[in-house]
Amino acid sequence: MAGVLDGQVAVVTGGSRGIGRACALALAANGANVVINYTSNEDAAKSTAAEAEKSGVKTLVVQADVSKPEEAQKLIKAAEEAFGKIDILVNNAGISRDRTIARMSVEEWDTVIETDLSSAFYCTNAAVGGMRERKYGRIVNISSIQGQQGAVGLANYSAAKAGLIAFTKSAARELARDKITVNAVCPGYVETDLISGLSDEIKATLIARIPLGRFGTPEEVAATVAFLVKPEGAFYTGAQLNLNGGEYM
């Protein structure tokens, strides 16, 4: 099946479920071979790979905890050894450990910062050498509306996602000379496992804040990511794409 990304290789961190899974499938649907990273859910990662392969592309499933630099390097090395290059890197891996600042432990702070922010640096640091040599690369960081406006009980998550936006801008400035674009996608509330576990009352409260009156979908986020890495998105770099139904207004 022909696609605009034919012959390209994409690495998606946290690609086994939710937004990461949707990104992997969207990139595969556009012709990219996809490396699907996961930390612990091997079955979900293999399921994502099997679904992606229906688009006629090749996949590779790699277990790696990208919050650790040596594991991130392992992921990138595995991708380059399997496919010879990396054209697209989607830094999607993320977790949350919600708690007010007064009750938050140092471990809860560190774990979220390392997983949601440091992992993007580790993976970009490992992948960018090859991109610079080939004078081509597309890096997309999955940030969040919470990195733009903050939220009660999410100081660690909001700080990580805000840091990801600043990292995006700095990396975009550094890498533009090598024809590498770096952008951030900042979703609002998206229908993932986290949302599905909330009570109807809480869901209604959240939706009341959103002018369009609904949650986003992983597929909508993935379509934005796919746009940024296709030729149509080539003039975007250092950008924040706000995908939140108008909530950030």
Residues acting as catalytic residues: 157
Strands (E), the chain: 9-12, 33-38, 59-63, 88-91, 137-142, 180-187, 240-243
- With H, G, I as helix, E, B as strand and everything else as coil, classify residue 119: helix
Q: What angle do CA 159, 161, 163 make, to 5 degrees?
A: 65
CA dihedral angle for residue 86, residue 54, residue 60, residue 178, rounded to 10 degrees: 10
Q: Could you write out the DSSP letters of every residue in 155-199?
A: HHHHHHHHHHHHHHHHHHHHHGGGTEEEEEEEE-SBSSHHHHTS-
For residue 167, what are the contacts with CB-CB under 8 A and spacing of at least 6?
117, 120, 121, 141
Q: How far apart are the two ends of the chain, measured CA to CA in Å?
A: 40
- Phi and psi, residue 190, nearest 5°: -125, 145
Q: What angle do CA 148, 228, 7 make, to 5 degrees?
A: 145
